[in-house]
Amino acid sequence: MSNAITMVEAVNLALGRAMSQDEKVVLLGEDIGTNGGVFRATVDLKAKFGNKRVLDTPLAETMIAGLAVGMAAQGLKAVAEIQFMGFIFPTMEHIVGHAARLRNRTRGRLSCPLVLRAPYGGGIHAPEHHSESTEALFAHIPGLRVVIPSSPARAYGLLLAAIDCPDPVLFLEPKRIYRASKQPVEDNGVPLPLDTCFTLREGDDITLISWGAMISETLQAADRLADEGVSCEVIDVATLNPLDLDTMLASVTKTGRCVIVHEAPKSGAVGAEIAASLSERGLLELRAPIARVAGYDTVMPYYRLENHYMPNSADVIDAVRQTLEFA
């Protein structure tokens, strides 16, 4: 039976499912136990699975990540929550310097199958340091997987896959769409693949590539462009590292045009990597330059100005029109 649920409820559903299926799954983080997490992503799990499976930690992000490394190396599936991505930086030494390297530096003797979950992105009028999109910092790291869902169903399936994955996974949850819409999600324990993009809409004229909360803006743009007779293919990258370039390249080969949409600052972002890789392998298939609709290369503004920063569907439509005008 499937009920229509929000993304944050889907996260909760996947966590509960993974914990039921595998007693090695242990959650840790700040306020995740009795309080159920500040976004309620872990609500009721402590009551259901006990305080040995849901650990309310002291308030120290470095410690949470370091603990997860040690637990994962012992064969537990440590699923750690960092309350907001703005506070993820203290974890980086452990995620980048240890989690992503442990398998490689021991040639497989030890591994680090942890999941680090963090709500990320802007659009909810949050306090300072609560709205950034710094996924590129992690997508650059070999040995780490970076996964971002864009709907309740994909949050459910991708989180199950992340927990099941033998590699360390950074799982970023776009909090702007935590409760934006509901979707039927069947609690069937079926994971989604971490090695493919998802083609959400097929089209012939142009390929729109995005992830996270920007998928909603991109799909809205595609709807409106369809009214004008422009047929957009929409791809949700979902796994930002390692990238499934084949799906994107096949689409661009078909359409000859591409717009990449993301919330993170434009320069040095994952969109730049996708654009470069598509150009390397598909330049002759392209009829127009690859366009990027992205955040400015500025500090994420405090919330009074955040709407000026966030790309929206009108920006996507403009970029599509310019690309089509080029050729």
Partner 1 sequence: MDTVFKGEIHLTRYLDQQGKLLAPLPDIPELPSRLVSCYRNMVLARALDSKAIALQRTGQLGTFASMLGAEAIDVSIGQCMKPEDVLIPYYRNHACQLMRGLPIDQLLLYWGGDERGSAHPAMGQDFPNCVPIATQALHACGVATAIKIRGEKRCAVTVIGDGGTSKGDFMEALNVAGAWQLPVVFVVNNNQWAISVPRVIQCGAQTLAQKAFGAGIRGEQVDGNDAIALHQVLELALERAREGKGPSLIEAISYRLADHTTADDATRYRDNEELKAAWEREPVKRLRSYLHSEGLWDEEQEKCWQEEVNRMVQEAADAYLAIPPQPVESIFDHLYAELPERLREQREWATVKAMPGGSHHE
| Binder of partner 1 out of 145, 176, 262, 292 (CB under 8 A) | 145
Catalytic residue among 94, 98, 129, 130, which?
A: 130
**Phi, then psi, of 295 in degrees rounded to 5:** -65, 160
Render 198-242 in DSSP notation, one character per residue.
EEEE--SSEEEEE-TTHHHHHHHHHHHHHHTT--EEEEE--EEES
Q: Which of residues 163-182 bind partner 1 (CB under 8 A)?
A: 165-167
Tell me the sheet residues that pair with 235.
Answer: 199, 209
Which of helix, strand or coil describes residue 259? Answer: strand
Provide the mask over 100-129, with x wherever binding to partner 1 is found by CB under 8 A and - wherever it is not.
--xxxxxxxxxx------------------
Count the residues of the shown chain that bind partner 1, applying the rule CB under 8 A: 49
Give me the least distance between CB of 269 and partner 1, in Å please. Answer: 17
Nearest in space to 130 (alpha carbons), one of 138, 139, 140, 120: 120
Cβ closest to partner 1, residue 91 vs residue 216: 91
Q: How far apart are the first and last CA of the chain?
A: 48
* Binding segment (CB under 8 A) for partner 1, from list 124-132, 141-149, 220-228, 302-310: 141-149
Are 27 and 55 in contact by the 8 Å Cβ rule? The answer is: yes
Q: Which of residues 33-92 bind partner 1 (CB under 8 A)?
A: 52-53, 55, 57-58, 60, 62-63, 65-76, 78, 90
| Binder of partner 1 out of 18, 26, 27, 206 (CB under 8 A) | 26
| Residue 130 annotated to the active site | yes
Whole-angstrom distance, CA of residue 62 vs CA of residue 115: 15
* Residues in contact with partner 1 by the rule CB under 8 A: 26, 52-53, 55, 57-58, 60, 62-63, 65-76, 78, 90, 93-94, 97-98, 102-111, 142-143, 145, 165-167, 195, 242-246
